[in-house]
Amino acid sequence: MKKKILSVLLAAAMVASLAVGCGKSGGDGGSKSSDGDGVKLDVIISQYGNYTQDWWTEFEKTFEEANKDIDLNIEIVSWNDIYSVVNTRISSNEQPDILNISGFADYVADELLMPAEDYVSSELKDNFVPSFWESNEMDGTVWALPILASCRSLFCNMDLLNEAGIQNPPATWDEVLAACKAVKDKFGSDIVPWGLDISTDEGQAAFSYYTWNFGGGFVDDKGDWALNTKENVEAVEYIKTLIDSGYCNSAPFTDTRYPLQDAFSAGTLAMMIGPMNMVAADSTVNYVAADLPGEKTALGVCDQLMVFKDDEAGDARTEAITKFFDAFYECETYSDYMVYEGFLPATQDASENLAANAEKYKVGGSDATGSSEYFKTFCAVLPNCKFYPMQKAEWMDVRNGVIDVEQQVCNGTMGAQEALDQLQSTIAK
């Protein structure tokens, strides 16, 4: 795919008509009680764009028309407020039935959540992209559902690469070095060959890109920390090689990905690893979004939907929750929401649908439609995604630790093996 892929913009009314492409699948804040034969469900959804409320208002109306015995109360909360709002509700024993947020480990530790297997239909479970279903596992139990997906790819300005004599995106790390050299030799200081962010903002992402694709990573096959493997040492040394060779932006220790994304969109940066929607909508850059070199493993990102326990509620509540999820993840409805908010689907049928029929759905707050080419490209990456081990108690120490390793190694303060040995010893003690 050489042409610039249409970026899906965030923030329109929900598409009302259902078309060919998908198969069919079967009050007051804090209220959990049943009223006669009815069930009330309180749902908190995080705000992804300016028009999130509009989509969910329509969903609530449609759902209640189809389920007369369920009173659905959906509240949209901004990301700036979501954690404080939820923590306040929990402290007052007024947590919602269903919550959309990022992260669930603390709720599991406090024994507040229901296992996903208790309320997810077998058809829905089998429909999730396996890597995204498994990403919500902790201690052998899946505790949440992926509401949406995002991933990182290798973005290449093909006009610059072609002019430098490179015809295809690099597929190996040696090819990356060769492409960087070709760009530097051709353009000198006018074009930066490779964008690198090992800053405190998101240096852990860089660690994942390189270590996973050198065959290493954060943990071993048993889920134990494995930070000082030879593969990780090679990966960190490779990052240093990129910097020492003059192939990167001048300040990789402090540059975040955002100015790098701007530079790529402006045509002054030849290659970088970044999120699927990183290229500006008005950019004229002719780019390819390719697999990462090496193992072709991408960084996956997903927020979750989770269900809080209510020991006083009966089976009717669980059945209502199952109906809610079956309705939300129904292929047409879920496809519509993904285009509306500008994310990738975490289900297999919606991935297939949007890869062929995305133009049927509107972007929130505009007359723009989705792009099948866009979804075809990025949905193909989803099965290859791995995730940060955020459920492990030591994650934040590891996150900060790998950034410190990158910075110390790349500025010459320590060798990669020594720095990673120290981090492993600190974390695994």
Q: What is the tens place of the pLDDT at every residue in 51-69?
A: 999 999 999 999 999 999 9
Total count of domains within the chain: 2
CA pseudo-torsion sign 5, 9, 12, 15: positive
Nearest to 246 by CA among 202, 167, 201, 188: 188
pLDDT confidence of residue 429: 78
Helices and strands (H, E) in the chain, number of each type: 16, 14
Residues 179 and 227 in one domain: yes
Tokens read off for 249: 């932006």
Q: pLDDT digits over 119-148, tens only?
A: 999 999 999 999 999 999 998 999 999 999
Cα distances from 78 to residues 50, 53, 63, 117, 248, in angstroms, run: 10, 10, 23, 29, 36
φ, ψ of residue 122 to 5 degrees: the values are -65, -35
Rounded mean pLDDT of the chain? 92
Angle at 213 between CA 374 and CA 417, to 5 degrees: 145
Residues 195 and 317 in one domain: no
Question: Domain residues for 347?
Answer: 34-149+302-386
Residues 403 and 366 in one domain: no
Q: How far apart are CA 226 and CA 247, in angstroms?
A: 29
Q: What is the mean pLDDT of residues 395-404?
A: 96
Residue 1 · residue 279 · CB < 8 Å: no
Residues 114 and 251 in one domain: no
CATH number of the domain enclosing 179: 3.40.190.10
210 residue type, one letter: Y
CB-facing half-sphere around the CA of 357: CA atoms within 13 A: 17
Residues 273 and 322 in one domain: no
Q: How far apart are CA 163 and CA 182, in angstroms?
A: 9
Question: Does the pLDDT value for residue 217 go beyond 60?
Answer: yes
- Radius of gyration of the chain from Cα atoms? 23
Name 248's bridge partners: 194
pLDDT band at 23 (very low <50, low <70, confident <90, very high): low
φ, ψ of residue 410 to 5 degrees: the values are -75, -20
**Reported pTM:** 0.83
Asked if residue 371 is part of any domain, the answer here is yes
How do beta strands 38-46 and 70-77 pair?
Answer: parallel
pLDDT confidence of residue 18: 35
Residues 182 and 98 in one domain: no
Q: pLDDT digits over 74-112, tens only?
A: 999 999 999 999 999 999 999 999 999 999 999 999 999
What 3-state class would DSSP assign to 269? Answer: strand
pLDDT confidence of residue 59: 99
pLDDT confidence of residue 20: 40
pLDDT band at 17 (very low <50, low <70, confident <90, very high): very low
Q: How far apart are CA 13 and CA 365, in angstroms?
A: 7
Cα distances from 299 to residues 285, 334, 381, in angstroms, run: 24, 22, 10
Residues 176 and 271 in one domain: yes
% of the chain exceeding 90 in pLDDT? 87
Residues 397 and 255 in one domain: yes
Residues 212 and 169 in one domain: yes
Residues in the chain: 429
Q: pLDDT digits over 310-340, tens only?
A: 988 989 999 999 999 999 999 999 999 999 9
